[in-house]
Amino acid sequence: MARVLVSEKIADGGLDALREAGHDVDVQLGLSPEDLLVAIKGAHALIIRSATTVTAEVLDAGTDLVVVGRAGIGLDNVDVAHATTRGVMVVNAPQSNILSAAEQTMALLLAQARNIPQAHNALVQGRWERSKWEGVELADKTLAVIGLGRIGKLVAQRAMAFGMRIIAHDPFVSPERARAMNIELVSLDEVAAQADFLTLHVAKTPETIGLIGVEFLAKAKPSLRVINVSRGGIVDEAALADAIREGRIAGAALDVFEKEPTTESPLFDLPSVVVAPHLGASTREAQDKAGDTIAEQVGLALAGEFVPFAVNVAAAEASETVRPYLGVAEQLGAIFAGLDGGIPAQVEIEYQGELAGYDTRILTLSVLKGMFGATSDEPVSYVNAPQLATEQGIEVKDSSTSSTVDWINLVSISGGGHQIAGTLVGLRAEPRLVQIDGHTLDVPPSAHLLIIHNDDRPGVIGRVGTILGDARLNIADMDVGRSSKNHDAAVMVIATTDAVPAEVVESLEASDGITSVAVVSAG
């Protein structure tokens, strides 16, 4: 059972799921920064929204932290770099509010074009100002989408339904992919020259802060209206206010601000500006989805399993072909570390068969997680496993080949004079250890494994069985592999129902015909 500290309001469904999994869900709302430093002690997970700032100091105080979960998309309130250094996984809910954010963008786009909030305010205050608040149509106007990710694409699709022409700026999207969506990719200068409306859907990074500033606005068309439902700070609010006040652009609609919460901005006094207090994700559906998603991700992280939305894992995605091999890759890592009582200075991992056509980085992390989990008393995760390899001076190389002889897929690990390989077999995709040091065999990985190298001659297997029987150790599974190169040598892999005591290992090592004995905990 883990303690999960929740510092902001999260949908009850997600928290209930964590409770049902046996975790202690500690809800403490409205914590000050000082209170958070106290509350975080002893917590294994921290769930936040946008109001809680997870600083390096907080992460250092949370010595038991495994994961920080942000119920939403943005992570500018989490020191992700320091979390990675500490081996703390950071997860978010990137798909929870994409629809709500896209709809908020369209709402602000329409409100800006038709001056709806201004006309509403005038009317409820007793003024019929029909001629004052003349707007513009969206049809035949050019909308520039900066950031053609999930939300940007949804906005583009909806804007097309209004008859708008869509251009986009996104250095990570190919022209071919954009053309398939009937969108033209252009430079920022071309955005300024062509756009009547501009909407932002990018992360807040050093490269995007102030992206829409003095230089950009000086090049913009007088008809430009800027919409921002992404992150505050991407738009230079002072520069935007000056451009609108001087009539150099037509207006703006903002849902986010550089400092939040805020009730003061040079934009608030301008009649052609529409503002909202960061409502992009403020729908009942988005809140429920965010809570459910982040609870699921935190639960996976606490269980040491694959976490799809981990942002500081070197490979946070796994295809349907790759994902079933995560478990066997981790088991192989643990077995490999146990072969020689540690991890060699150089480790080579090879993926053979269909796996070679996929991104296998997450499998490499699984192998490392298994290796270090078997040799370290500290918690090992997908986050800190590469860091542990670096700290211990272990060089890890991985490679892929589409050719394999006897299996559709094979994961092979070698180094330090040892080699093992494993795969999945049958309709149930059951894990199998199929190679050890040049010997072919077929045995399921088990919590307790004996790997015995021995002379290939009569009587050796019987002596091993007798020693284990005298120690009242039950054999759950066993296979014997012969070497294709050395016909005088063999290997036995024995799965026992209980751990093998040291004195039994000594008896086996002293037995005639046995050359080495390794005790492995494969999990």
Residues labelled catalytic: 231, 260, 278
Q: What angle do CA 41, 42, 43 make, to 5 degrees?
A: 95
132 DSSP 8-state letter: T
How many helices (H) and strands (E) are present in the chain, helices listed first?
A: 17, 22
* Contact in structure between 475 and 467 (CB atoms under 8 Å): no
Q: What angle do CA 256, 98, 266 make, to 5 degrees?
A: 10
**Alpha carbons 223 and 220: distance in angstroms, whole number:** 8
Tokens, residue 342: 């540690």
List Cα–Cα distances, 321 to 214, 303, 327, in angstroms.
Answer: 49, 22, 13
Amino acid at 449: L
DSSP-derived secondary structure for 215-253: HHHHHS-TT-EEEE-S-TTSB-HHHHHHHHHTTSS-EEE
Phi, then psi, of 520 in degrees rounded to 5? -125, 135
**Alpha carbons 154 and 98: distance in angstroms, whole number:** 8
Dihedral angle over CA of 164, 204, 388, 348, nearest 10: 30
Phi, then psi, of 477 in degrees rounded to 5? -160, 155
Distance of CA 178 to the CA centre of its chain: 25
467 Cβ neighbours under 8 A, 6+ residues apart: 504, 507, 508, 511
* Contact in structure between 367 and 330 (CB atoms under 8 Å): yes
What length is written for the chain? Answer: 523
Q: What angle do CA 259, 261, 265 make, to 5 degrees?
A: 60
**Alpha carbons 501 and 519: distance in angstroms, whole number:** 10
* Secondary structure in 3-state letters for 284-328: HHHHHHHHHHHHHHHHHHHCCCCCCCECCCCCCCCCCCCHHHHHH
Write the burial class of residue 184 (CB in 10 Å: 0-12 exposed, 13-18 middle, 19+ buried).
middle
**Alpha carbons 119 and 449: distance in angstroms, whole number:** 76
